[in-house]
Structure 1
Amino acid sequence: MSSQNVVTEVTINDATRSPLTLRNLGALLLLAVMWGLSIPVTKLGLQTLPPLTLTAMRFGVAAPLLLIFVIVGRHSMPWRALPRVAALGVLGIGVGQVSQTFGVAGTSASVGTIISATIPIFIVFFAALRLRQPVSGVQQIGVLAAFAGIALVALGHEGPTTSSQTTVGGATWVLLSALAIAFYYVWSVELTTAYGTATVAAWSTLFGFIALIPWTARELCSISSFHVTAQGFFAAVYLGVVVTVAGLFIWLSLLRVVPARVAASVQYLQPVVGVVIASALFGDQIGATFVLGVALVLAGLALTMTSRRPARK
């Protein structure tokens, strides 16, 4: 996945973490760039690959690499947990990542980036429902601000080219993706606590990829001519290796050495990087309405990630 497990992990006791060093700061900035490029690179891949095919190629690359870690590290998981993990994979990849890819096809890269940045906000909402974690008044204001920002970003944006134009349908797909991925992380809390984030990510990615295969085959059969270009191949490899695998392990490494709330600041940098890159690659226009919407989304994100005291188990 991506950085969306930030909110589920920021309750780690920061007292055991060392201060932020120059090396860790560099890793944090690198992670923001890696994840910030996710939506723009997806947009590039969709120029030559159909949506389901690009998504299947991405996780077809990521799944073996994650499984190697599980096998080499001997991170076992009981058979009784596999059905739940398989369901997670279908939800996170079959619904979350597929709808994100369809959404990116119908939005500009900058709009897709900003709407995807709301995933931590939905995590707070679902955690309140499923895990019975209280939502403060400040966090509620943050949710409202974020939704107002989404409306401004999605409805007040027009691109100079067809590939940069945003439709209501495309924005809806990305919003559905944000909801599905957020629920994925909240639903996976018990499993990741018991067996580890990387282990659950590896097996759920495998099952999600397997679920994609018949739908991808159907998509390819409906296309009269198809060939993988260098651009499409690069996009799939980047999303699979850099965003999904390397990003996960850099994130987990950061959580071991720096305060979790400092590491979570990547959530604020990621959409900024995405918008800047999208503007450079696709000529996305950044007008006053768009800037206001981005500001509201980031403010909502900041408010929903605040708490008066660390969570206790």
Structure 2
Amino acid sequence: MSSQFLTMTRLLFAGLILLTLSFIQGETIFRIFKNRQDAISLLVFSLVGALAVQLTFLMTIEKFNAATATVLQFLSPTIIVAWFSLVRKSRPGILVFAAIGTSLLGTFLLVTHGDPTSLTISGSALFWGIASAFAAAFYTTWPSRLIARYGTLPIVGWSMLIGGAMLLPFYAGQGGDFVITGNVLLAFFYLVVIGTSLTFSLYLKGAQLICGPKASILSCTEPLSSTFLSLLLLGITFTVSDWLGTLMILSSVILISLDSRRRVITHQA
């Protein structure tokens, strides 16, 4: 399947699942469309958030591999704190400065292996990987007001369904040259139900039970597990520079989480 076709079908089915769960739980899933401003905000989130983050991520995998795609997407926390520092014209703390530095250095090692004259991944893979990080940053920050007003499942469900529908006119008949088999159906079921709907629900539940910084730190297991599974199942090799770059990017997430925790403690005090 092409990345575009897979993104379209993944979003459509995952959106339907999440909206169905929301409806079963008694949510009024159509309420947002009664407010014109919120409906427009949802459309923006569907295009630049849900659709962009899924498509850029799968395009990075298509152009290179899953491990590198996951690691590059974890640049998003650094992008978020840097953006808010610029908007608010506030000087970042030492931990945020350290996070920005380690993320940039980690990306440099990951894509050049320490040689600034050459790239170890294709230019297109690097483009889609960086775009995935920016899309993930937007996806994380934009819908906060909508979620507070209408709930998480309706907003994410509608954004996925609308995002998938946006691709229908272009890729509905361009799935690629593949034959539907039991293995294909099983893989698609895993991607949509377990890899999207269930994973999202589990993360939300975990974030409710523990504080945000702890959730962010625990989420660092995602690129590590992706890397290990790619090594074991797909035969992808990681060099020492790849591992160092990965660990530096993940350490930036931990530093940002520690800075957030410090700010919360200071505010409470």
Q: TM-score, normalised by structure 2?
A: 0.84
Q: Separation in 1 of the partners of 2:216 and 2:90?
A: 19
SS at match of 1:264: helix
- In structure 2, which of residues 260, 263, 266 is the aligned counterpart of residue 309 of structure 1? 263
Summarize deviations over 1:102-152 as a string: whole Å, max 9, x none.
Answer: 111111222112112222222323344567786323212211211221121
CA change 1:226–1:295 in 2 (3 A) is closer
| Aligned pairs for 1:122-201 within 5 A | 122-129=79-86, 135-156=92-113, 166-201=121-156
Structure 2 residue 170 is matched with structure 1 residue 215: yes
Report the Cα offset of residue 94 of structure 1.
2.8
Aligned counterpart in structure 2 of residue 266 of structure 1, from 200, 218, 227:
218
Residue segments in structure 1 that go unaligned for 5+ positions in a row: 1-48, 158-164
| Letter paired with 2:16 | P
Distance 1:262 1:141, change over 3 A: closer
Letter in 1 for 2:236: D
Instruction: Report the Cα offset of residue 226 of structure 1.
Output: 4.4
Checking the alignment, whether the CA contact within 8 Å between 1:91 and 1:184 is kept in structure 2 is: yes
> 1:253 maps to which residue?
205
Unaligned runs of 5+ in 2: 115-119
Q: Which amino acid aligns with 1:155?
A: T
CA deviations 1:202-233 (Å, max 9, x no partner) are 1111111111211213634xx5x543344443
- Name the aligned partner's letter for residue 96 of structure 1: V
Quickly say closer, same or farther: Cα 1:115–1:232, change in 2 above 3 A.
Answer: farther
CA distance in 2, matches of 1:230, 1:133: 54
Check whether the contact 1:268–1:298 (CA below 8 A) recurs between aligned residues: yes
1:272-311 correspondence to structure 2 within 5 Å: 272-307=224-259, 308-310=262-264
302-311 or 198-207: which moved more?
Answer: 302-311
Q: Which has the higher contact order (CA 8 A, sep 6+)?
A: 1
SS state at 2:251 partner = helix
Q: Contact 1:67 / 1:202 at 8 angstroms: preserved in 2?
A: yes
Asked if the contact 1:55–1:236 (Cα under 8 Å) also holds between the matched residues in 2, the reply is no
50-59 or 228-237, which deviates more? 228-237
Contact 1:55/1:101 (<8 A) preserved: yes
Question: Which of 235, 258, 266 does residue 187 from structure 2 map onto?
Answer: 235
Letter in 2 for 1:210: A
Question: What secondary structure sits across from 1:306 in the alignment?
Answer: helix
| Change beyond 3 A, Cα 1:274–1:199 | same
Contact map agreement 1:52 1:216 (CA 8 A) in 2: yes
- Cα distance 1:61–1:132, how it changes in 2: closer, same or farther (>3 A)? farther
RMSD: 2.5
Distance 2:85 2:192 in 1: 31
Change (3 A) 1:277 1:140: same
d(CA) in 2 for partners of 1:129, 1:275: 33
Residue 258 of structure 2 aligns to a residue whose secondary structure is coil
Distance 2:87 2:152 in 1: 19
CA deviation vs aligned residue, 1:189-208 (integer Å, no higher than 9, x gap): 21112222222111111111
The aligned counterpart of 2:117 is none
| Residue 94 in structure 1 maps to residue 65 in structure 2 | no
Residues matched between the structures, number: 255
Which moves more between the two structures, 59-68 or 120-129? 120-129
- Specify whether residues 58 and 194 from structure 1 end up closer, same or farther in structure 2 by C-alpha distance, changes over 3 A only: same
Distance 2:83 2:187 in 1: 31
Distance between the aligned counterparts of 1:299 and 1:167, measured in 2? 25
Kept in 2: contact 1:61–1:237 (CA 8 A): no
Identity %: 21
Partners in 2 of 1:74 and 1:213 — Cα distance? Answer: 29
Q: Tell me whether 1:56 sits opposite 2:13 in the alignment.
A: no
